[in-house]
A = this chain, B = another copy of it.
Amino acid sequence: MSDVARTAGVSVATVSKVVNGRYGVARATVERVQQVIHELGYEASLGAQSLRSHRTNVLGILLAEFEPFSTELLKGASQEVAGSGYQLLAYSSGDGEGAAVGWERRSLARLSGTLIDGAVIVTPTVVETENNFHVVAVDPHTGPSHLPTVDSDNFAGAVLATNYLLSLGHTRIGHISGRTDLMSAQLREAGFRSAMAEAGVPVDERLVRPGGFRIETAAGPAAELLGLADRPTAIFAGNDLSAISTMAVARDMGLCVPDDLSVIGFDNVPESALVNPPLTTIMQPLQRMGAEALRLLVDLIAGVERDTHIRLPTELVIRSSCRPHR
């Protein structure tokens, strides 16, 4: 900025005013400065700017890692943000979901004082809201949260999945549940149990194991389930990654999906269509969730009064990983 100031023969204060479109600068000066800015290709440093002004027009999306779930949200958010005047900054603590818990708190602390005007946090565990800084959670932690939230109807989706398996004649149905700290995972398991009870089919507790929502963490539980002498004939996986992991484990054990084992997932990330056979799953409108989260955040910042809890519907997507029992 001092380069610009020197070249244009003004002070940095004046350049700042021009950059920010403040009143009280002569027309001619504005033009001259803008000219120089253009020539030099000057762009204000985000770091310095935010440090001083606490307003950056940048919105943050905080996530543990870039995996299919969060990148779908990102796509939706990205479309929504276009033309809003905001820029998007996706930040990953980088250690992956497995390592350091509390990444959401740390990332938020690191960015919120400065740099971003608000944040959407993906699958956060604990977040204490700071005053005057807006946060919206996507698929948050279990328990009552005061946070503005976007999620989908996980319970209904799980019922959908379980009923589909039931309708195919399966009764020995296993469930690989998700991150036990997440509301969504609990609701999916609850939906599973509810549908089973409704159908009068008892749940064998040995067939229900936590899989952590990730490929690596789901492989173990999947192997245990499939290694049982009386193994399940169908598995409802807590999300698509767990389902994909389960299918890989099944293949390694010489089982054929769907002939020997039906598998249904949850999420409908694009990857679910890439596996062989293509995965039957429950769709959450992920891109729309990302878009809604972003819109909600923008509204919150703008002070718009509105509903701060958005729940979107889920839907059964039938592909080829399930087949009738027997």
Interface residues of A (CB under 8 A from B): 41-48, 50-51, 65-68, 71, 74-75, 77-79, 81-84, 86-96, 99, 105-106, 109-111, 113-115, 269-271, 273-274, 278
Contacts and interface: CB of A to CB of B under 8 A. Distances in A.
Contacts of A68: 75, 270
B48 A114 contact: yes
Contacts of A86: 94
Contact of A65 (B44, B82, B89): B82
A78 B67 contact: yes
A44 B91 CA distance: 15
A51 B43 contact: no
B115 A47 contact: yes
Given A45-B114, A273-B273, 4 more contacts: A47-B113, A71-B71, A87-B91, A90-B90
Contact of A51 (B48, B82, B95, B269): B48
A75 B83 contact: no
Nearest to A97: B82
A87 B78 contact: no
What are the nearest 6 A-B pairs in CB distance?
A270-B270, A43-B109, A47-B114, A66-B78, A71-B71, A273-B273
B270 A110 contact: no
A94 B88 contact: yes
A111 B249 CA distance: 43
B82 A87 contact: no
A278 B274 CA distance: 10
A48 to B, nearest CB: 5
7 contacts: A45-B113, A46-B110, A47-B115, A48-B114, A51-B51, A82-B99, A86-B94
A66 B92 contact: no
Contacts of A115: 45-47
A234 B245 CA distance: 37
Contacts of A93: 87
A75 B82 contact: no
B94 A82 contact: yes
